[in-house]
């Protein structure tokens, strides 16, 4: 939750799409926002209905993709929902698509609104998130340009011909070339060059109003508004059915962030982020990444769009293009902006983590009157009534878990098998090993417990002539972190919201989780092995073979003869095991 709070504070005041993820990294919800900061934060503040609250309770992380407008965000949301099928998205799960305007590829072309894009059927423009506006635009284009209006060419002229809105292929031979000019003018309009037409409509609207033709003026006004909506720029979908990657990058003093957008069949469906340190010039590191990434890629897209850089070598190996203008150029700029945002977020979180860790270590050091401990090792004993006793040790370096240094201990039999004796043994074994191998010692040892565990650890260290400060993490009646006890047994209380308390709580929870998991593994293994002891023909190797195959003693107990033999056992051993668990003889 702490990481979520940090990411929420870094959200930009820009439009885009957000993807909510659960603990496994699965995308559970995709949404769009006019202002990402406001929309995403709203999920974690205030009250929500039952369905929304259920979804929020499963959010472990989120990511965002910036777009240039809310229109782009809406279109990208549609593409991502269809790709990932998130369980909390309902409305866009079906095969609904946004509408396109097409100029058909016929001898006598038509202008139509369609939701099905078919290669070779015509030239498509869109998609448009506002279906009403698309229909109004098509209606206006049909009024402005004399394209064919009827599905089937009739035997006599219709009203459109008499109004000058159709060339009349029903009454005369209209060659295909006659449509080229109007096709070109309509395409220019649909590509966004609408200034002349909008200006003409505005003049007509003003003239109609001056003539007190208010209904007609309102019609012109509505057409102007619809055209403005249709004309909103979008770069999420390109209507050429080409598979392409769009790559952008950003860099700080020592880190490089690379963003790759994957457009398939012209639609932006997903993206990847890569953040890593670099040791040469940023552009050289970027080129090196591209070479490695696309050399190892099993398939290449038809086109790779890049920001300006030297393609003298890469351009000979891969289909790389540096667009200078238009939608492709805008897509590259969007990738660059997203890379910059991602890098800024990463750096900001790292700086905050470092500041918080530094503060936490200072608070712990001040409480114990020692220098800030960079390396902390923590121990916890786990057993049930003194049986299957084990210990877990974890290491935190600069306030972060260093999992390569986690260690597990099986407690060796002793005259007195209690937690303090077990702690003495584990501390002695751990640091005798470090001394023997001349490995560095930690700055602080934290034991899970109070005076008894602290004194046991100190006695073990004294016997080894090792000087490491020992403190204890004491829990309250609800088994929650409560007090830090110093080496002399004096309690030190922290504010629950302080960085020091949060670090102690994290260490105590982590060492407890690590120790109890190891204990459960050992206890389960012991129970399994004891169940199989004494069965004729079943020794240690066969016990392990059975456990690997069946995973649990319950599965072995319920297995029939055929299942046991499938595990690789001879028929005599399988019969002995089956008889043992079923309490009856078996004849083969």
Q: What is the pLDDT of residues 144-160, one digit of tens each?
A: 778 888 888 887 888 88
Looking at the structure, tell me whether residues 111 and 156 fall in a common domain. Answer: yes
* pLDDT at 75 (0 to 100): 72
User: What is the mean predicted confidence (pLDDT) over 425-437?
Assistant: 94
User: What is the mean predicted confidence (pLDDT) over 131-137?
Assistant: 71
What CATH number is attached to the domain comprising 453? 3.30.420.340
Joined together, the tokens standing for residue 14 give: 């820009």
User: What is the mean predicted confidence (pLDDT) over 518-545?
Assistant: 69
Report the alpha-carbon distance of residue 432 to residue 426 in Å, rounded: 10
Joined together, the tokens standing for residue 66 give: 């910036």
More confident residue, 164 or 524: 164
* pLDDT at 130 (0 to 100): 58
**Is the residue at 453 inside a domain?**
yes
Report the alpha-carbon distance of residue 33 to residue 504 in Å, rounded: 38
Question: Which of 24, 59, 84 is at the close of a domain?
Answer: 84
Residue in the structure block whose two tokens are 């079923």: 582
Looking at the structure, tell me whether residues 390 and 492 fall in a common domain. Answer: yes
pLDDT at 523 over 70: no
Looking at the structure, tell me whether residues 176 and 316 fall in a common domain. Answer: no
Looking at the structure, tell me whether residues 487 and 439 fall in a common domain. Answer: yes
User: What is the mean predicted confidence (pLDDT) over 161-188?
Assistant: 81
**Is the residue at 441 inside a domain?**
yes
**Is the residue at 291 inside a domain?**
yes
**Is the residue at 173 inside a domain?**
yes
Looking at the structure, tell me whether residues 520 and 541 fall in a common domain. Answer: no
Contact 17, 77 (CB under 8 A): yes
pLDDT at 460 over 70: yes
**Is the residue at 587 inside a domain?**
no
What CATH number is attached to the domain comprising 550? 1.10.150
Looking at the structure, tell me whether residues 464 and 500 fall in a common domain. Answer: yes
**Number of other residues whose CB lies within 10 A of the CB of residue 197:** 18
What CATH number is attached to the domain comprising 39? 3.40.1440.10
**Is the residue at 355 inside a domain?**
no
User: What is the mean predicted confidence (pLDDT) over 353-378?
Assistant: 92
Report the alpha-carbon distance of residue 7 to residue 84 in Å, rounded: 23
pLDDT at 536 over 60: yes
Nearest to 349 by CA among 388, 293, 400, 304: 400
What CATH number is attached to the domain comprising 251? 3.30.420
User: What is the mean predicted confidence (pLDDT) over 75-95?
Assistant: 68
Looking at the structure, tell me whether residues 469 and 386 fall in a common domain. Answer: yes
Looking at the structure, tell me whether residues 397 and 460 fall in a common domain. Answer: yes
**Domains held by the chain: number:** 5
What would the DSSP string read from start to end of 210-257?
HTT-HHHHHHHHHHHHHHHHHT----SB-TT---EEEEEEEE-SSEEE
Using pLDDT thresholds of 50, 70 and 90, give the confidence band for residue 174.
confident
Question: Which of 488, 504, 524 is at the close of a domain?
Answer: 524
E strands, 44-104, are: 61-66, 100-104
Looking at the structure, tell me whether residues 495 and 557 fall in a common domain. Answer: no
User: What is the mean predicted confidence (pLDDT) over 293-308?
Assistant: 84
Question: Which of 198, 230, 262 is at the close of a domain?
Answer: 230
Looking at the structure, tell me whether residues 275 and 401 fall in a common domain. Answer: no
Residue in the structure block whose two tokens are 């590191």: 285
pLDDT above 90 covers what percent of the chain? 24
**Is the residue at 239 inside a domain?**
no
Contact 458, 424 (CB under 8 A): no
Looking at the structure, tell me whether residues 513 and 554 fall in a common domain. Answer: no
**Is the residue at 91 inside a domain?**
no
Tell me the residue range of the domain where 160 lies.
100-230
Element (H, E) at 510: helix 499-532
* pLDDT at 129 (0 to 100): 57
Contact 62, 19 (CB under 8 A): yes
Mean pLDDT of the chain: 82
Looking at the structure, tell me whether residues 111 and 226 fall in a common domain. Answer: yes
* pLDDT at 531 (0 to 100): 64
Handedness of CA 358, 359, 361, 366 (dihedral sign): positive
Joined together, the tokens standing for residue 309 give: 């850089």
* pLDDT at 97 (0 to 100): 59
* pLDDT at 182 (0 to 100): 82
Residue in the structure block whose two tokens are 């008499």: 162
More confident residue, 142 or 450: 450
* pLDDT at 92 (0 to 100): 41
In this predicted model, what pLDDT tens digit does every residue of 190-248 receive, in sequence order? 765 667 677 877 888 898 888 888 887 887 787 777 666 655 545 556 666 788 899 99
Handedness of CA 517, 522, 525, 530 (dihedral sign): negative
In this predicted model, what pLDDT tens digit does every residue of 477-494 receive, in sequence order? 777 888 999 999 999 999
* pLDDT at 397 (0 to 100): 92
pTM of the predicted model, to two decimals?
Answer: 0.47
């Amino acid at each position: 939750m702490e990481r979520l709070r940090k990411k929420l504070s870094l959200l930009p005041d820009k439009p885009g799409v957000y993807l909510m993820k659960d603990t496994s990294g699965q995308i559970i919800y995709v949404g769009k926002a006019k202002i990402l900061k406001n929309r995403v934060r709203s999920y974690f503040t205030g009250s929500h209905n039952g369905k929304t609250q259920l979804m929020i309770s499963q959010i472990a992380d989120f990511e965002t993709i910036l777009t240039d407008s809310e229109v782009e965000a809406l279109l990208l949301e549609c593409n991502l929902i269809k790709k990932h099928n998130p369980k909390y998205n309902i409305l866009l799960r079906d095969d609904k698509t946004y509408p396109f305007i097409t100029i058909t590829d016929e001898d006598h072309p038509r202008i139509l609104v369609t939701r099905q894009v078919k290669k070779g059927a015509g030239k498509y423009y869109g998609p448009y998130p506002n279906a009403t506006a698309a229909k109004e635009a098509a209606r206006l284009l049909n009024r402005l340009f004399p394209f064919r209006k009827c599905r089937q060419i009739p035997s006599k002229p219709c009203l459109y011909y008499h109004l000058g809105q159709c060339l009349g292929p029903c009454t005369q031979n209209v060659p295909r070339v006659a449509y080229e000019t109007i096709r070109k003018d309509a395409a220019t309009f649909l590509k966004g060059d609408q200034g002349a037409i909008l200006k003409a409509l505005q003049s007509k609207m003003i003239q109609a109003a001056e003539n007190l033709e208010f209904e007609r003026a309102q019609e012109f006004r509505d057409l102007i508004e619809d055209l403005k909506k249709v004309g909103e720029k979008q770069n999420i979908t390109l209507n050429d059915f080409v598979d392409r990657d769009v790559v952008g990058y950003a860099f700080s003093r020592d880190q490089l962030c690379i963003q790759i957008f994957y457009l398939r069949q012209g639609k932006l469906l997903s993206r990847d982020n890569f953040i890593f340190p670099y040791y040469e010039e940023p552009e050289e590191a970027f080129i090196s990444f591209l070479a490695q990434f696309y050399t190892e890629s099993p398939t290449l897209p038809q086109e790779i769009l890049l920001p300006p850089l030297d393609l003298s070598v890469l351009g000979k190996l891969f289909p790389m293009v540096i667009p200078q203008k238009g939608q492709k150029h805008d897509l590259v700029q969007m990738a660059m902006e997203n890379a910059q945002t991602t890098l800024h977020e990463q750096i900001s979180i790292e700086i905050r983590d470092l500041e918080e860790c530094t503060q936490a270590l200072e608070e712990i050091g001040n409480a114990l009157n020692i220098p800030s401990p960079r390396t902390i090792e923590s121990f916890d004993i786990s057993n049930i009534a003194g049986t299957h006793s084990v210990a877990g040790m974890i290491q935190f370096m600069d306030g972060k878990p260093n999992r390569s240094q986690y260690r597990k201990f099986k407690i060796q039999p002793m005259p007195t098998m209690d937690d303090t004796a077990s702690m003495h043994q584990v501390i002695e074994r751990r640091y005798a090993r470090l001394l023997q191998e001349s490995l560095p010692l930690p700055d602080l040892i934290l034991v899970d417990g109070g005076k008894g565990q602290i004194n046991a650890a100190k006695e073990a260290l004294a016997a080894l002539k090792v000087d490491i400060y020992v403190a204890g993490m004491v829990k309250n009646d609800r088994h929650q972190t409560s007090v830090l006890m110093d080496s002399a047994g004096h309690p030190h209380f922290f504010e629950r919201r302080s960085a020091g308390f949060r670090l102690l709580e994290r260490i105590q929870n982590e060492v407890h989780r690590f120790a109890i998991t190891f204990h459960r593994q050992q206890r389960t293994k012991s129970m399994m092995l004891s169940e199989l002891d004494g069965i004729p023909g079943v020794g240690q190797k066969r016990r392990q073979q059975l456990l690997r195959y069946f995973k649990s003693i319950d599965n072995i107990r319920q297995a029939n003869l055929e299942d046991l033999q499938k595990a690789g056992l001879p028929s005599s051993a399988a019969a002995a095991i089956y008889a043992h668990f079923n309490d009856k003889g078996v004849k083969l």
